[in-house]
Amino acid sequence: MTGPELHDLARRLFPICRSITGEGVRQTIRVLQEFLAIECKSVPSGTKVFDWVVPSEWNVSEAWLADSSGARIVDFADHNLHLLQYSEPFRGMVSRAELENHLHSLPDQPGLIPYRTSYYRQAWGFCLSEQQKKTLSDSTYQVQIATSLSPGVLNYGEYFVQGRSSEEILISTHICHPSLANDNLSGILVALNAALHFTRNPAHYSIRFVFVPGTIGAITWLATNQEKWAAIKHGLVLTGVGAGEKFHYKQSRAENAVVDRVSELTIRESGHPFTILPFSPYGYDERQYNSPGVALSVGCLMRTPHGSYPEYHTSADNLEFLQAGALDDSSALLIQILANLSANRVYQNLSPFGEPQLGKRGLYATNPDENMAFLWVLNLSDGSHSLLDIATRSQMPFGQIQIAAERLLEANLLKCVG
């Protein structure tokens, strides 16, 4: 799908009120299923998932705040950010003073509605712009919050692309945010796009895409899919890839895992400006995948790191902020990273005593770079260096090293050993 097609799809998904549970997640997965046979999995409320418990399902019928004249001045129907996520039901008149404890605004960004949640602390509240809040001068207000918090399920989407190997790459993106475009419709869309690509063009690795609510969803997926961990050799969390000039790659806990090295090399070779961030146990769901008992090699591909841009977690993270071009570039980059991970094999030189005679095999290239690529692959293919190692040491493009390896393989000068 092209960037503009992805942006059109974002337009359909944007109004849905996603949260960590509830109808919004299911609706979102249903739209994605128009493109790809994503499975919608359900885990019942109350299920113990490691140290956590799947919470009650939260759904919203209506939610509004009316002034003393009965005029609805803040309404969930207008913008789903207006309601504090996981607000418990409430109906009644409250004084302006009491209401103050339930209002969330951004004094420093007075025109924007903030995004706020209260998953694990019982509360209700409204989010509104500081400008609007300043106009609330009545002495009492009518509150109507018709939400339900009751046993249900937590949903996540999962899609598996079979590769030539049973070893897997995990791509995880969060699906729990309501009307925020970059964070994280962008991650959902770019993951969808890569899934479409590799479904048509299988690679060495199988690739497992999971669309999970943040934190609790990743933990739930881990807890209910423990038998899948062993096959996962590399992984990426994908988020905030629809806006921003630079790419940011956050390393896995190991910091020099293959996924870290391949991602950095691929981004560098793409020519895009970028920054490599060291691992930290805060951020997105890489926190869970890199926890010490899970210890998967999972990095995080972003353009915009959390909290680093003014639109973050506000109503300004909207469809205008989301760039079709960014979705395009990010898709291409993710696909290239996955392709490079898949191409990064280890070979063994079958003619390792001195150089083999390339000329008699028609491999004596007139292009000196092509020649050097042959010599580097032959020299370092002793069963312990991957193509990534060879590209890194030779400072030659990964693609050129990969092509040289393919030609040497055809000439029976190499065999694949890992």
Chain residues binding a copy of itself by CB under 8 A are 50-52, 120-121, 215, 218-219, 222-223, 253, 280-282, 287-288, 290-295, 349, 351-357, 359-360, 371-372, 375-376, 378-382, 394
Compare residues 230 and 282 and give the one whose CB is closer to a copy of itself: 282
Compare residues 70 and 307 and give the one whose CB is closer to a copy of itself: 307
Report DSSP state, residue 309.
Answer: S
Give the pair of three-digit tokens for residue 377: 């692959």
Least distance (Å) between residue 176 CB and a copy of itself: 16
363: nearest Cα among 347, 352, 374, 378: 374
Compare residues 74 and 236 and give the one whose CB is closer to a copy of itself: 236
Residue type, 134: K
Least distance (Å) between residue 250 CB and a copy of itself: 14
Compare residues 31 and 223 and give the one whose CB is closer to a copy of itself: 223
Distance of CA 236 to the CA centre of its chain: 7
Least distance (Å) between residue 296 CB and a copy of itself: 11
d(CA 201, CA 188): 20
Helix (H/G/I), strand (E/B), else coil: 274: strand
Question: In sequence order, what DSSP letters do the residues of 206-240 get, joined into one string?
Answer: EEEEEEE-TTHHHHHHHHH-GGGGGGEEEEEEE--
Question: In sequence order, what DSSP letters do the residues of 145-168 get, joined into one string?
Answer: EEEEEES-EEEEEEEEE--SSS-E
Compare residues 273 and 293 and give the one whose CB is closer to a copy of itself: 293
396: nearest Cα among 363, 368, 357: 368
Residue type, 306: H
Least distance (Å) between residue 354 CB and a copy of itself: 4
Compare residues 297 and 331 and give the one whose CB is closer to a copy of itself: 297
Contact 290, 284 (CB under 8 A): no
Give the pair of three-digit tokens for residue 233: 């050799």
Give the pair of three-digit tokens for residue 145: 């919050």
Least distance (Å) between residue 385 CB and a copy of itself: 9
Compare residues 123 and 196 and give the one whose CB is closer to a copy of itself: 123
Least distance (Å) between residue 52 CB and a copy of itself: 5
Least distance (Å) between residue 283 CB and a copy of itself: 10
